[in-house]
Structure 1
Amino acid sequence: MDWYLKVLKNYFNFRDRARRREYWWFVLINAIITVLLGFVQDALGWSNESGEGVLTVVYGLLLIIPSIAVMVRRLHDTDRSGWWVLIGLIPIVGWFVLFIFAVFDSQPGSNRFGANPKDVAAPTSSIIS
């Protein structure tokens, strides 16, 4: 949960670097929260026929900027420009490319986007020690 909160604290940070752990914990917790909100809105009858509901839409809108920001920081960690995030506008191929970039390991040492976050003390996850 610490990694998820770290992303939210860096809401508008498009400059630094993000470790794989930070990015993927954010993605996982975000997916879990979205599913839980979907169940709640279905139970309350707030979903339409396509399954969209007010809770998941509002949650998604609130997390657009931090989601883009953490992806940009993840790209920076692999020494790529944040502008690569725009390739995600290309369906399937762009998403696959961003997925591959997010899986790559950090560039060792410092790069043009800052120090390697693996070398800096990072929060420990409450789930994994």
Structure 2
Amino acid sequence: MKWYWQVMRQYATFRGRASREEYWMFFLLELCLWLLFFGFGIATGLNKEIYFLLLYPAYCLLTACPRLAVTWRRYHDMNKSGLNIFWGAVPVVGPFIVLISLAASGTKGPNNYGLDPLNQPVADS
């Protein structure tokens, strides 16, 4: 959970680097929250239109900026421009390109975008 709150605290920070662990833990928690939202909607018999047109889109809008920022910083960790995120817009193969590139390890030591996040202390809540 600390990774989720760390990303949320850096809500619109596009500078610096995000480690592979920070990115993927945030991604995993986002997936779990999606499953909870979906499961809650089914378990309570919530009208699907309310869920899909109101609750989940509202959550997505609230977390769009942090999601984009952590992905941007993840590219910085690999010493690449955050603009590489736009490869995801290429039809069919784009999302796979992004997924594979985000799974790569970051550069060791400092790079053009800052210090190695693995050698810096993580702020505790």
| TM-based fold match above 0.5 | yes
Cross-structure match for 2:6: 6
Residue 48 of structure 2 aligns with an amino acid whose one-letter code is S
Residue 69 of structure 1 aligns with an amino acid whose one-letter code is A
Cross-structure match for 1:103: 103
- TM superposition shift of 1:41: 2.5
Q: Deviations over 1:31-79 (max 9, x none)?
A: 111111112223242313xx72422111111111111100000000001
Task: Indicate the RMSD between aligned Cα atoms, in angstroms.
Answer: 1.8
Aligned length: 123
Q: Percent identity?
A: 32
Q: Would you identify which runs of 4 or more consecutive aligned residues in structure 1 move more than 4 Å?
A: none
Give the 5 Å matches for 1:32-43: 32-42=32-42, 43=44
Residue 23 of structure 1 contacts residue 70 of structure 1 at CA under 8 Å; is this kept in 2? yes
Residue 46, structure 1, aligned to residue 47, structure 2: yes
Normalising by structure 1, what TM-score?
A: 0.87
Could you tell me which runs of 5 or more consecutive residues in structure 1 were left unpaired when the two chains were aligned: 125-129
Distance in 2 between the 1:59 and 1:90 partners? 25
- TM superposition shift of 1:123: 5.3
Cross-structure match for 1:127: none
Cross-structure match for 1:60: 60
Residue 69, structure 1, aligned to residue 35, structure 2: no
Residue 3 of structure 1 contacts residue 123 of structure 1 at CA under 8 Å; is this kept in 2? no
Pick the structure with more helix per residue. 2
Q: Deviations over 1:94-127 (max 9, x none)?
A: 1111111111111011011000001111258xxx
Residue 19 of structure 1 contacts residue 117 of structure 1 at CA under 8 Å; is this kept in 2? yes
Distance in 2 between the 1:89 and 1:61 partners? 19
Cross-structure match for 1:27: 27
Distance in 1 between the 2:16 and 2:63 partners? 19
Could you tell me which runs of 5 or more consecutive residues in structure 2 were left unpaired when the two chains were aligned: none
Distance in 2 between the 1:40 and 1:102 partners? 30
Distance in 2 between the 1:118 and 1:106 partners? 9
